[in-house]
A and B are shown apart, each in its own frame.
Chain A
């Protein structure tokens, strides 16, 4: 009896002790990938990974009151290979720590890569659980690699800049899972935020320090990039998609000189199909929301209500104009449907959609979209009349 017990004890001890820690991977044995940039290089993929360097992050281990490392807190490894995984493996061969992708939050796609199509990227993102589907997808203007090298003075990593910008750019930022969802849903095309590299300062004597600016939208047809929109156009697309966070619109007042800057807050979009026949498809796109005056650099008097109504009218005209221009371009020039007209038909008029599904390519440029902007000017700030202008100089 005693020997039997001893035997069981020895066996279980051996089982516990000799297993070792076969998949033990301490926090110092891994290299945390903070961001990936993907480019097309001939028929190869260039995958660049940005890895955090913890010893440069100013831990307490260095002694003498922390203080933070002097060098940059990241390292960049870039290799090209037949597939993304092959490129990653080649990088891994030169890194003493194991690449660890679970903390990656930014995924940059170069312009050429996006034009080739996103399908090959999505496979590796979905297949390995370590690759999080909540990674922010951003298309870059030109190749993506330089974005990993911009000077990051505010954030610790360049990829962190992209992450913060992408998180604030849209109401529901585009992540890998959104991309997959959009590609698989019927009747909507992909639109991914686009970043570009700009100089930190402009004008005479500006230093050559660069930073990343997020002010564009890449419009896709299926999984291929057709056009990168920037500035006002990108803003209009975000408005039409209902994804815009805050849009500031400079308006020329109806009378007087100068410019008034209005801020559109919480814009809301409603897309209403008015379609009965396949050859007469119309949509009403209603834009609702509040607007506020954030700057009045004009002589226009905002203290009277009629003036506010006039300003509201001007704002609505401006927004309608922008959206109409954009939608026309999307229909005829880019032939892409990121706003989801077809999607709306699919949901709201399924029978009609089934009839025209195969002809949509031809029908799409012909549909009529009526844009109605119903912005309400609510807030003029804490100042009624512009400072520094005599009352008699204000325009009536």
Chain B
């Protein structure tokens, strides 16, 4: 056996032996079907497939029927029968292991008596979700299609948008048990070659038993795993993925999830929504400013409020501080504790709202509004201004278009509140400096996280704090270092490619 395990098991050509070896490998899997047939009435063959993962109609109509009806003479002469079936994708296989993996992924193995080479027929089937509107990133104006759980569908959705041979894809199989298909896609003439090499190396070196979502890979390939900031962007929208490709980024499709990873990212990208680009530039710019404003509120407002009413009473207008003092008169907690209680209960409410079944969801909002919004204030547990601050902060954090970035901001609010509670504005500034320093240091696949601002690039600022109109938006981001910077008009690189690659 030890000699056997080193040498890969090959098919012998003897139908009964081969069938037995396959049967041993697939022992204990009740859905496996061994369907015997006689090709053209002369040659015995066995189809091995998993009944739940294949399209049985396809097997019946396009494999069994044509093979059985094959002309006897033809059947005797042939050494391979794949071409007589109606299946477009057929691979020859001689070893047991890849054959078994293929069977598990929904292919059909055809063993033929007297032939050492078996065929794998692609008969994948089973239930699939259709292309639907993405639920996590909705837009008013823009495409309504979203990625599905099927990798093939996802790649095709992007390829439909980029009809160019420059859109290259590399496939990986990740996960020792799940054998998840992972595809890295990029535009050859735009993406930095070293970056693509690096990301391929990182994905190829992922070694774990199962990859069920792109998040598994994201955490294993990011530059700084301890940073609270997301270093990849994910999307459910093919148009977003295509837009990122067009800026010279790569996308990572993972089979089994509608979320596609994209990188490298900058912090500014986290403030952009695909709709910024679909609406007119003035509106896009306004929405972006709104988001930046609310980003500051989401991050700093509770901290600034706590600092002001704990230390810096002179910073507020007299009437305002008197109103706050009046509403805080009966509150038993210090501002910091009050703020923590409220922010944590807001987070709990939000979490409950996400996880609960939809039917119970409305109960949470009623409880939240009644208990926290009204009763807590009336009972004198929390003050009304604090409720206003917390709700404003909550709304502000929902303004951020990227969920993973918004939750980072919500997380960073707590240390800032704590610093504000013990050190006042001084503490907030310390916290802000620490956050800014960390962001300056952070890299996403080697690209600085604040690219465009730090290091500063004038042309990149067309798409950071403003969304310049498309006619002004000629260059791609410099921080991705793409060879081909111009978005508009023909450029030397494209002309070169046209000459080199026929049909480009």
Q: Which residues of A contact B (CB under 8 A)?
A: 16, 19-21, 23-28, 30, 32, 34, 52, 54-55, 57-63, 100, 102-103, 105, 130, 132
Contacts and interface: CB of A to CB of B under 8 A. Distances in A.
A52 B329 CA distance: 12
Interface residues of B, number: 27
Contacts of B325: 27-28, 32, 52, 54, 57, 59
B318 A61 contact: no
B335 interface: yes
B344 interface: no
Contacts of B328: 26-28, 54, 59, 61
B335 A55 contact: no
A226 to B, nearest CB: 34
Given A26-B335, A27-B313, A130-B314, A21 B421 contact: yes
B397 interface: no
B370 interface: no
Interface stretch (B21-29, B40-48, B376-384, B445-453): B376-384
19 contacts: A21-B336, A21-B422, A23-B311, A24-B421, A25-B310, A26-B310, A28-B331, A30-B313, A32-B322, A34-B318, A54-B328, A55-B330, A59-B323, A59-B325, A61-B327, A61-B383, A102-B313, A103-B313, A130-B314
A364 to B, nearest CB: 42
Contacts of B329: 28, 54-55, 59, 61
A26 B334 contact: yes
Given A32-B322, A57-B322, A24 B334 contact: yes
Contacts of A105: 318
Nearest to A30: B313
Nearest to B315: A102
Given A100-B313, A102-B313, A61 B326 contact: yes
B323 A57 contact: yes
B310 A21 contact: yes
A86 to B, nearest CB: 24
Contacts of B378: 60, 63
- The A interface is mostly helix, strand or loop, or mixed, namely loop
A59 B310 contact: no
B199 to A, nearest CB: 32
Nearest to A104: B318
Interface in B300-359: 309-311, 313-314, 318, 321-331, 334-336
A114 B325 CA distance: 35
A25 to B, nearest CB: 7
Q: Which of A24, A57, A60 has most chain B Cβ within 10 Å?
A: A60
B25 to A, nearest CB: 46
A52 B326 CA distance: 10
Contacts of B335: 26-27
A34 B319 CA distance: 11
Interface of B: 309-311, 313-314, 318, 321-331, 334-336, 377-378, 380, 383-384, 421-422
B314 A27 contact: no
A24 B421 CA distance: 8
Nearest to A16: B422
B310 A61 contact: no
Contact of A59 (B311, B327, B334, B336): B327
A311 to B, nearest CB: 44
Contacts of B322: 32, 52, 54, 57
B326 A57 contact: yes
A105 B313 CA distance: 15
B313 A61 contact: no
Contacts of A132: 314
Contact of A60 (B311, B313, B327): B327
Contacts of B422: 16, 19-21, 24
A223 to B, nearest CB: 28
A105 B334 CA distance: 28
A19 to B, nearest CB: 6
Contacts of A25: 310-311, 313
A19 B331 CA distance: 24
A55 B439 CA distance: 45
Given A21-B310, A27-B321, A61 B380 contact: yes
A328 B470 CA distance: 74
A360 to B, nearest CB: 41
B309 to A, nearest CB: 4
A133 to B, nearest CB: 13
A24 B310 contact: yes
A25 B384 CA distance: 20
Given A16-B422, A26-B309, A103-B313, A59 B318 contact: no
A132 B309 CA distance: 19
A80 to B, nearest CB: 27
A330 to B, nearest CB: 36
B313 A54 contact: no
A27 B313 CA distance: 7
B310 A32 contact: no
A27 B323 contact: no
B383 to A, nearest CB: 7
Q: Which of B325, B328, B378 has most chain A Cβ within 10 Å?
A: B325
Given A19-B422, A27-B324, A28-B325, A61 B331 contact: yes
A103 B311 contact: no
